[in-house]
Amino acid sequence: MAFEGISEKLQNIFKGLKNKGRLTEADVKAALREVKMALLEADVNFRVVKQFVKAVEERAVGQDVMNSLTPGQMVIKIVNEEMVKLMGGEPVRLPLHSGMNVLMMVGLNGAGKTTMTAKLAGELKKYRRPLLVAADIYRPAAIEQLQINGGKVGVPVFTMGDKHNPVDIVKAAIEHASKNGNDLVIVDTAGRQHIDEALMDELVAIKAAVKIDQTLLVVDAMTGQDAVNAANSFNERIGIDGVILTKLDSDTRGGAALSIRSVTGKPIIYSGIGEKLTDIEQFYPDRMASRILGMGDILSLIEKAEASYTEEQADKLAKKFKKAEFDFNDMLEQFDQMNKMGSIQDIMGMIPGMGNKLKNVEIDEKAMNKPKAIILSMTPAERANPKCINPSRKRRIAKGAGVEVADVNRLLNQFEQSKKMMKQMSGMMSGKGGRRFGGKGGFRFPF
Ligand SMILES: Nc1nc2c(ncn2[C@@H]2O[C@H](COP(=O)(O)OP(=O)(O)OP(=O)(O)O)[C@@H](O)[C@H]2O)c(=O)[nH]1
Ligand SMILES: [Mg+2]
């Protein structure tokens, strides 16, 4: 899971701070030294770390903080705010003007350009008519890969095979787009090592030949400082307008996410969070900071839930959630939603306080199949009112699902318990910061 190491360290440091009633300047400085180490270990650029710690320290050792009732929490708040600032503060949307826009995706080998090209098209086709352009003529099967991905998101792909040079391909693609009413051209370029001057020259040549509205650098978040150095080279050599961070679902330490904005001065616009073509998110510095700080990412989670629920469904569920009135019919629906939302482990990691607990827990995604089979074996009436499930019904349900009666009992018990837990959680969440939890994004555990 992303940011695990750094989250855990920061949480421990914060715990130490919170446990102290009063803080001295020395306490804060000691804590910040630990924060510094944690950031360096997460592969954050050392200059960025230095500036960051300095900024936090300047604010944290002030009288207001030290004399406040909760100095520990004030320090945490400052760390959080400075982290948000480090990643750009406000989210930046991809600037698209009216008429034809040409985007060019650039980046190192395997960063995720071709995948992101299709993800972006899938995302933007709600508002635009995209055309993808296969300008990677070097890697075998690169063209085919783009065609397949384009097909999956239902967006056309322009190709001239691998016998023309990329400058001509892009020119022809733009002409083709104008004739066919496509107002968004996204160019997938070849992967390169930043030392590869020939390929850099090629990107410069494309930019010289046609008007590129946005040059987007795709960066693999797992590669830490290498990604940051590459970003710098790309920016100096060809000029970039924005950054897209991919593989934020993987075991990344946080270095790239935290440094890249500050080092290049360019905004992070989107993030890639999985291999599926729907695994794309707008980049929100505040949410990313919460994730890195281990505070969970409730907002992203809720947005995911919202994307896969209709409003009506969500409202209905949120009400039941609050009253802990949900039944097995809802649970069945929930299983399907969970599938749409991604892996359970990812989702749990976004819940505050859960990331840590799940550290060594392997969640068996297939484990959902058994309860699902049991629920499917119930009649709708039984699903709506589990209390009516007597021993003979249990036997019938078990037989239908191909499981033991004990499995049915276990599910019924778990269900009762999770209901209790929901009740507690909705109590907890109705306070600060939990508004949206019970609101239209109402989210519940599936078990
Ligand atoms: N887990 C995860 N994998 C990703 C993500 N984005 C891309 N990948 C995977 O990373 C690998 C490389 O992705 P590509 O899109 O082919 O990368 P590329 O930059 O086009 O690579 P080249 O064209 O060879 O330079 C593929 O296996 C993708 O499925 C992501 O956000 N998360
Ligand atoms: Mg590619």
Say if residue 132 is in the same domain as residue 263: yes
Say if residue 382 is in the same domain as residue 246: no
Residue 317 Cβ contacting ligand 1 at under 6 Å: no
Domain that holds residue 319: 298-438
What residue owns the CA closest to ligand 1's atom 4?
A: 275
What residue owns the CA closest to ligand 1's atom 23?
A: 191
Q: What's the CA-to-centroid distance between 221 and ligand 1, angstroms?
A: 11
- CATH number of the domain bearing residue 108: 3.40.50.300
Residue 96 forms part of a structural domain = no
Say if residue 398 is in the same domain as residue 312: yes
Say if residue 14 is in the same domain as residue 125: no
Q: What's the CA-to-centroid distance between 30 and ligand 2, angstroms?
A: 46
pLDDT higher at 6 or 168: 168
Residue 342 Cβ contacting ligand 1 at under 6 Å: no
Whether residue 277 contacts residue 116, with contact meaning beta carbons closer than 8 Å, is answered with no
Residue 67 has pLDDT above 50, yes or no: yes
Last residue of a domain, one of 86, 118, 135: 86
Say if residue 145 is in the same domain as residue 282: yes
Q: Which helix (H) or strand (E) holds 187?
A: strand 184-188
Residue 127 forms part of a structural domain = yes
Last residue of a domain, one of 292, 317, 351: 292
Nearest atom of ligand 1 to the alpha carbon of 272: 31
Nearest atom of ligand 1 to the alpha carbon of 218: 19
Last residue of a domain, one of 258, 292, 326: 292
Per-residue DSSP letters for 397-440? Answer: HHHHHTS-HHHHHHHHHHHHHHHHHHHHHHHHHTSTT-HHHHTT
Which ligand is located closest to the Cα atom of residue 249? 1
Q: What's the CA-to-centroid distance between 110 and ligand 2, angstroms?
A: 7
- Which pLDDT score, from 0 to 100, does residue 313 have? 64
| Torsion angle (degrees, nearest 10) of CA 33, 228, 280, 307 | 30
Pick from 154, 291, 260, 138: nearest CA to 203: 138
Express each pLDDT in 122-148 by its tens digit. Answer: 999 999 999 999 999 998 899 999 999
Q: What's the CA-to-centroid distance between 191 and ligand 2, angstroms?
A: 6
Q: What's the CA-to-centroid distance between 409 and ligand 1, angstroms?
A: 44
Residue 343 Cβ contacting ligand 1 at under 6 Å: no
Residue 447 forms part of a structural domain = no
Say if residue 158 is in the same domain as residue 235: yes
Whether residue 394 contacts residue 400, with contact meaning beta carbons closer than 8 Å, is answered with no
Whether residue 395 contacts residue 409, with contact meaning beta carbons closer than 8 Å, is answered with no
Say if residue 317 is in the same domain as residue 251: no
pLDDT band, residue 437 (cuts 50/70/90):
very low
Express each pLDDT in 241-271 by its tens digit. Answer: 999 999 998 877 788 889 999 999 999 999 9
Nearest atom of ligand 1 to the alpha carbon of 116: 15
Angstrom distances, CA of residue 16 to CA of 5, 30, 210: 17, 11, 56
Which of the residue ranges 10-19, 54-63, 310-319 has the most confident prediction, judged by mean pLDDT? 54-63
- Which pLDDT score, from 0 to 100, does residue 69 have? 65
- Average pLDDT value for residue range 51-57: 93
Say if residue 407 is in the same domain as residue 285: no
pLDDT band, residue 76 (cuts 50/70/90):
confident
Residue 389 forms part of a structural domain = yes
In degrees and rounded to multiples of 5, residue 183 shows phi and psi of -110, 10
Residue 309 has pLDDT above 70, yes or no: no
- Which pLDDT score, from 0 to 100, does residue 294 have? 73
Q: What's the distance, Cα to Cα, between the start and end of the chain in Å?
A: 21
Which ligand is located closest to the Cα atom of residue 113? 1
Q: CA-CA distance, 283 to 306, in Å (whole number)? A: 17
Residue 44 forms part of a structural domain = yes
Say if residue 122 is in the same domain as residue 264: yes
- Average pLDDT value for residue range 346-367: 57
Residue 445 forms part of a structural domain = no
Nearest atom of ligand 1 to the alpha carbon of 191: 25
Say if residue 281 is in the same domain as residue 259: yes
Please tell me the pTM assigned to this model: 0.69
Which ligand is located closest to the Cα atom of residue 244? 1
What residue owns the CA closest to ligand 1's atom 14?
A: 112
Residue 353 has pLDDT above 80, yes or no: no
Indicate the top mutation candidate among 105, 106, 115 to test ligand 1's pocket, ranked by most ligand atoms within 8 A of CB: 115
Residue 434 forms part of a structural domain = yes
> Beta partners for 107?
218
Which ligand is located closest to the Cα atom of residue 278? 1
Beta-carbon-side half-sphere exposure of residue 282 (alpha carbons within 13 Å): 13
Q: Which helix (H) or strand (E) holds 334?
A: helix 328-341
Q: CA-CA distance, 135 to 133, in Å (whole number)? A: 6
Q: CA-CA distance, 143 to 141, in Å (whole number)? A: 5
Say if residue 329 is in the same domain as residue 376: yes
- CATH number of the domain bearing residue 69: 1.20.120.140
Residue 275 Cβ contacting ligand 1 at under 6 Å: yes
Q: Residue 158 is encoded by which pair of tokens?
A: 């322009």
Report the number of distinct structural domains present in the chain.
3
Nearest atom of ligand 1 to the alpha carbon of 145: 16
Nearest atom of ligand 1 to the alpha carbon of 279: 31
- CATH number of the domain bearing residue 377: 1.10.260.30
Is the four-CA dihedral 287, 289, 292, 298 of positive or negative sign?
negative
| Torsion angle (degrees, nearest 10) of CA 194, 197, 200, 206 | -170
Residue 139 forms part of a structural domain = yes
Nearest atom of ligand 1 to the alpha carbon of 280: 31
Q: Residue 93 is encoded by which pair of tokens?
A: 């949307």
What residue owns the CA closest to ligand 1's atom 29?
A: 275
- Average pLDDT value for residue range 351-375: 65
Nearest atom of ligand 1 to the alpha carbon of 117: 15
Residue 149 Cβ contacting ligand 1 at under 6 Å: no
Residues within 5 Å of ion ligand 2, judged at the Cβ atom: 113-114
316: number of Cβ within 10 Å:
16
**Sequence-distant (≥ 6) Cβ neighbours of residue 309 within 8 angstroms:** 317, 337, 441
Say if residue 55 is in the same domain as residue 189: no
Residue 109 Cβ contacting ligand 1 at under 6 Å: yes
Per cent of the chain over pLDDT 70 is 78
- Average pLDDT value for residue range 183-210: 91
261: number of Cβ within 10 Å:
24
Q: What's the CA-to-centroid distance between 139 and ligand 2, angstroms?
A: 8
State the DSSP code for 69: S
pLDDT band, residue 217 (cuts 50/70/90):
very high
